[in-house]
């Protein structure tokens, strides 16, 4: 995933928020309208409100017009007040909120990157890291135990650690990009849900069989963590992240429809919409857990490696041991441990 993942315009920022707020308001209005206009929906509303108002009585015609109007007001002001807040809760997270972190990691990746051949020759991506090779050249004018120790136990591990830091930044960035794909797909699912819901409500018409409107939940992402780090100054650093199937499906693939939104009455359609929103929330939780577990695996891998290096003062894939020259006393330097070459 070298190219940046771009959020489709209709799913980004204020455009998406405005669309969802507007369409949720339309859905609420349509539910109210159809509950009042559709015969079966209105009959169900009257039955419900009569039972609430007269729990100990059997309904008997005619119902007083004043009471009928109070039932209408209940539908207008109470039945579907949950609709707009339910969809507004889906406005977050914003996929593009991750962009600054992704770009920061991309910068770290390019700064610490480079290449290293089988002979240990290091070609850094950043001019600043070229100083590693400069110091190696400078130290070649010296000889002795401290000189050897500094090159073998500091400079060589340092260039390897640099490549590994770039590898870590890359895999973390790709994890975040997987998260962004997840949130983009979530937004697409919510937009499709509200649009399909409006159509499922509109089709209600005085008791006739409603047309089927089916909605699909999230297409899952595929996340795996396999961080391969260079060791010993010879192996090449690389990262393997199982994301191919995620983007091979397309950034926003169409999910297989599995949830029926249509129903005989507006109230039942509303219940199906509520269930669909709950399914989407459950899907999101499952997918976010995948990313969380991948991050935890990555963190534990790095933490364990660093702890082993620090506790034993030995260079490892992501930490460099303190070289002996850092604690050398003057007499240890002047007795021949570090001396100019001839």
- pLDDT 10s digits, 304-324: 888 988 898 888 888 888 877
Task: Give the pTM.
Answer: 0.82
> Is 65 part of a structural domain of the chain?
no
> Is 299 part of a structural domain of the chain?
yes
In contact, 87 and 26? CB cutoff 8 Å: no
In contact, 305 and 318? CB cutoff 8 Å: yes
> Is 178 part of a structural domain of the chain?
yes
Question: What backbone phi and psi angles, to 5 degrees, belong to 26?
Answer: -60, -40
Q: What does the pLDDT average to over 125-146?
A: 82
**Residue 30: pLDDT over 90:** yes
> Is 2 part of a structural domain of the chain?
no
> Is 51 part of a structural domain of the chain?
no
pLDDT of residue 235: 34
- Any idea which of 13-27, 198-212, 260-274, 305-319 has the lowest mean pLDDT? 198-212
Neighbours of 309 (CB within 10 A): 19
> Is 277 part of a structural domain of the chain?
yes
Q: What does the pLDDT average to over 47-75?
A: 75
Q: What does the pLDDT average to over 97-112?
A: 92
Structural domain range at position 272: 96-340
**Residue 86: pLDDT over 50:** yes
> Is 21 part of a structural domain of the chain?
no
pLDDT of residue 297: 86
Distance CA 226, CA 294 (A): 9
- Is 30 exposed, middle or buried (CB count within 10 Å of its CB: 0-12, 13-18, 19+)? buried
Distance CA 19, CA 25 (A): 10
At 244-271, the pLDDT tens digits run 556 656 778 888 888 899 988 899 999 9
> Is 228 part of a structural domain of the chain?
yes
Highest mean pLDDT among 71-80, 185-194, 328-337: 185-194
Looking at the 3D structure of the chain, how many domains does it have?
1
């Amino acid at each position: 995933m070298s190219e940046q993942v771009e959020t489709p315009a209709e799913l980004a920022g204020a455009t998406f928020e405005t669309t969802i707020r507007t369409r949720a308001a339309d859905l609420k209005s349509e539910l109210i309208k159809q509950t009042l206009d559709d015969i079966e929906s209105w009959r169900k509303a009257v039955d419900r409100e009569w039972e609430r108002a007269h729990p100990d009585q059997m309904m008997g015609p005619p119902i007083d017009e004043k009471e009928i109007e109070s039932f209408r007001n209940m539908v207008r002001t109470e039945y579907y007040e949950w609709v707009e807040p339910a969809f507004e809760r889906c406005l977050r997270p914003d996929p593009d909120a991750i962009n600054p972190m992704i770009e920061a990691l991309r910068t770290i990746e390019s700064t610490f990157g480079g290449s290293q051949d089988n002979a240990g020759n290091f070609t850094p991506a950043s001019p600043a890291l070229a100083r590693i090779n400069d110091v190696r050249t400078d130290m070649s004018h010296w000889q002795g135990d401290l000189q050897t120790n500094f090159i073998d136990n500091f400079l060589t591990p340092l260039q390897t650690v640099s490549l590994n830091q770039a590898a870590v930044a890359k895999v973390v960035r790709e994890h975040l990009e997987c998260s962004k794909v997840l949130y983009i797909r979530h937004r697409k699912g919510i937009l499709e849900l509200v649009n399909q819901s409006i159509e499922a409500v509109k089709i209600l018409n005085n008791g006739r069989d409603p047309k089927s409107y089916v909605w699909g939940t999230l297409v899952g992402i595929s996340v795996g963590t396999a961080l391969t780090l260079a060791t010993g100054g010879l192996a090449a650093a690389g990262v393997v992240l199982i994301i191919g199937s995620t983007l091979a499906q397309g950034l926003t693939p169409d999910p297989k429809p599995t949830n029926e939104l249509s129903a005989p009455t507006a109230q039942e359609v509303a219940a199906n919409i509520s269930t669909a929103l709950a399914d989407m929330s459950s899907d999101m939780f499952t997918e976010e857990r995948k990313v969380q577990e991948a991050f935890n695996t990555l963190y534990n891998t790095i933490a364990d490696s660093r702890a082993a290096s620090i506790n034993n003062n030995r260079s490892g894939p992501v930490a460099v041991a303190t070289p002996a020259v850092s604690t050398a006393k003057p007499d240890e330097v002047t007795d021949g441990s570090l001396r100019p070459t001839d």
